[in-house]
């Protein structure tokens, strides 16, 4: 049986749906790495195949989530984390977990960027927070 790592320890996630439901989720266009070792699910049902090491290195909150939930999964299955953020939010914050250039942030306040900044703050993704702060200065 597939067991899911959840973000409950950090208040950011919930138990994964059963294996049949998880397998049916569409993949993010930008996060579907063939060598991924973790699958993150958005609140609107999109799967993000990511590298756990990148999330661990860029976010203390993700690191704490993994420490609290290091459960086993079946062979060939990726551990999953269910997050409360939408796919649109995850598409914007996950690039800040990877060591590659990210386009400068263009603020769109007061609409959606407050939610994005909240997610960056919640997961303590400092590189993204710094990008937002730099955009506020310009």
β-pairing, 47-50 vs 38-41, is antiparallel
Instruction: Please tell me which residue, 51 or 24, carries the higher pLDDT value.
Output: 51
In this prediction, residues 110-121 reach a mean pLDDT of 79
Q: What angle separates helix 113-122 from helix 126-137, to the nearest 10 degrees?
A: 140
Confidence (pLDDT) at 110: 62
The answer to whether residue 16 scores a pLDDT higher than 50 is: no
| pLDDT band at residue 38 using 50, 70 and 90 as cut-offs | very high
Q: How far apart are CA 6 and CA 23, in angstroms?
A: 17
Q: Mean per-residue pLDDT for 63-68?
A: 77
The confidence band for 138, taking pLDDT boundaries of 50, 70 and 90, is: low
Mean pLDDT of 93-120: 82
| pLDDT given at position 58 | 92
């Amino acid at each position: 049986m597939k067991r899911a790592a959840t973000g409950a320890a950090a208040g950011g996630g919930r138990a994964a749906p059963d294996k049949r439901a998880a397998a049916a989720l569409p993949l993010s266009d930008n996060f579907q790495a063939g060598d991924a070792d973790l699958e993150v699910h958005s609140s609107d049902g999109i799967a993000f195949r990511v590298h756990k090491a990148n999330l661990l290195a860029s976010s203390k909150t993700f690191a704490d989530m993994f420490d609290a939930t290091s459960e086993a999964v079946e062979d060939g299955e990726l551990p999953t984390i269910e997050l409360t953020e939408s796919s649109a939010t995850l598409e914007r914050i996950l690039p800040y977990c990877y060591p590659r250039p990210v386009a400068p942030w263009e603020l769109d306040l007061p609409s959606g960027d407050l939610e994005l900044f909240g997610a960056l703050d919640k997961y303590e993704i400092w590189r993204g927070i710094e990008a937002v702060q730099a955009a506020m200065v310009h």
